[in-house]
């Protein structure tokens, strides 16, 4: 147990030091916690706005940095709208980190295929930072990213950076292109037709909206990926993050504690996995 969870419901205070606009509906919030905050990539935090509400987010920053934490948030409802209105200096609360993150050991020595959709890039970025730092340990990394329109593509500078990283390759697609777009058009799963993957020595990671995850998994299975080599990060309604409140229950799992990262094999028989 880490110190942050000793008093389960009291958050660590964190000051907002910077707000980065990523797209019309997505912003990245750079936070400086009062004390060092450690997490593993894929784990999530509960971020609280005092007196307003709390919601789960997966940090988008590197798990190797502990004095600062970045959270990329899409405006989606009550709490996220309020968070979007905040400016530098605001104090938020962080509980966590919670759950089971990505099993990096499973990626060592392998080709890693990462598929991201929309705001799913946020948790993926944290994974990519981590894998970049450990790139000696993997064979290759292929990142396929899809978003609705070019305007919705986030982390543009980071994409440029990734393209220059040895062993990394990046493919992007938008559902609907415009005149500025020079990459693919169509759903993200189409990108799988273009890339070369050796399924035998690969692990796939899929993060995005439910519908995107559903079709990506279907396609990966068709390509011959076994269920235990497909890693998913699930999003469910969550309140406590501690495996108690029941909101995130998906069959026999508490997604917050047993997940949020699961292999497809683990969850394929559970109810409503894509909802």
Partner 1 sequence: METLVAITKSNWKSALINLIDEYVVYAPYRFWNQLEYGRVTKDNIGDIVYNQPKPSSPLKSLFLPIRENVVNSSQPAQKRIIMGAPACDLSALSILDEIYLNHDYPDPNYMKYRENTILIGFDCHTTNEHCHCTSYGFHPYPTENSDLVISLIDDNFLISAQSDKGLSFLEKYLSNEEQAPDEQKEKATEIRENIEHDLREKNKDLPDYDKTGEVVMQCGDDIWDRYSDTCVSCGACSAICPTCSCFLLIERPEFEKVRSLDTCQYPGFERVAAGEDPLRPLPKRFRNRYMCKYVWKPEKFQSKACTGCGRCIEACIGEINKNDLFKEQFKNLSIEA
Ligand X SMILES: Cc1cc2nc3c(=O)[nH]c(=O)nc-3n(C[C@H](O)[C@H](O)[C@H](O)COP(=O)(O)OP(=O)(O)OC[C@H]3O[C@@H](n4cnc5c(N)ncnc54)[C@H](O)[C@@H]3O)c2cc1C
State the residue for tokens 């990626």. Answer: 107
Q: Give yes or no for residue 122 binding ligand X (CB under 6 A).
A: yes
Could you tell me which stretch among 27-35, 70-78, 88-96, 219-227 binds ligand X (CB under 6 A)? Answer: 70-78
Residue 254 as a binder of ligand FES (CB under 6 A): the answer is yes
Are the C-beta atoms of residues 62 and 133 closer than 8 Å to each other? yes
Instruction: Kindly tell me which of 57 and 264 has the beta carbon lying closer to ligand X.
Output: 57
Q: Name which of 16 and 122 has its Cβ closer to ligand X.
A: 122
Instruction: Please give the order of strands across the beta sheet that includes 69-74.
Output: 53-57, 44-49, 91-98, 12-23, 26-33, 69-74
Q: Is 80 in the site for ligand X (CB under 6 A)?
A: yes
Find the part of the chain contacting ligand FES (CB under 6 A) among 135-143, 181-189, 224-232, 247-255: 247-255
Please report, as ranges, the residues that interact with partner 1 according to CB under 8 A: 1, 5, 7-11, 13, 48-54, 74, 76-77, 80, 93, 209-210, 235-237, 239-240, 242-247, 249, 251-253, 257, 271-272, 275
Query: Which among 184, 180, 162 is positioned nearest to 172, based on CA atoms?
Result: 184
> Shortest gap between Cβ of 126 and partner 1 (angstroms)?
20
220 or 248: whose CB is closer to ligand FES? 248
The residues in 222-241 that bind ligand FES, with binding defined as CB under 6 A, are 238-241
Q: List the single partner that 58 binds among ligand FES, partner 1, ligand X, none, CB under 5 to 8 Å by kind.
A: ligand X
Task: Specify the DSSP element, H or E, that contains 100.
Answer: none
Cα separation, 55 vs 33, in Å, equals: 17
| Strand runs labelled E in 82-185 | 91-98, 111-117, 140-147, 168-174, 184-185
Give how far Cα 112 sits from Cα of 22, 100, 232, 249, 271, Å: 26, 19, 13, 29, 28
Residues that bind ligand X (CB under 6 A): 44, 53, 55-58, 72-74, 76-80, 119, 122-123, 235-238, 260
């Amino acid at each position: 147990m880490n110190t942050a969870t000793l008093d389960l419901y009291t958050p660590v205070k964190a000051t907002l030091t910077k707000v980065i606009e990523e797209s019309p509906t997505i912003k990245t919030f750079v936070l400086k916690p009062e004390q060092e905050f450690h997490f593993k990539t894929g784990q999530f935090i509960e971020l609280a706005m005092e007196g307003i509400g709390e919601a789960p987010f997966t940090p988008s920053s590197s798990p190797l940095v502990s004095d600062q934490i970045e959270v990329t948030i899409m405006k989606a409802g009550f709490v996220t709208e309020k968070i979007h209105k905040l400016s530098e200096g605001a104090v938020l609360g962080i509980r966590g980190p919670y759950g089971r993150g990505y099993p990096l050991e499973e990626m060592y020595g392998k080709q890693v295929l990462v598929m991201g959709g929309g705001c799913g890039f946020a948790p993926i970025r944290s994974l990519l930072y981590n894998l970049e730092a450990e790139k000696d340990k993997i064979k290759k990394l292929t990142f396929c990213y899809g978003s609705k329109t070019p305007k919705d593509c986030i982390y543009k500078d980071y994409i440029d950076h990734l393209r220059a990283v040895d062993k990394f390759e990046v493919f992007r697609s938008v559902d609907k292109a415009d005149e500025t777009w020079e990459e693919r058009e169509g759903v993200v799963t189409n990108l799988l037709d273009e890339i070369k993957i050796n399924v035998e020595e690969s692990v796939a990671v899929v993060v995005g909206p439910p519908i995107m995850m559903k079709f990506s998994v279907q396609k990966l299975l068709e390509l011959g990926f076994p269920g235990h080599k497909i890693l998913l990060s699930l999003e469910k309604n969550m309140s406590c993050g501690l495996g108690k409140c029941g909101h995130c229950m998906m069959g026999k799992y508490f997604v917050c504690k047993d997940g949020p990262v699961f292999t497809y094999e683990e969850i394929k028989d559970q109810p409503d996995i894509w909802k």
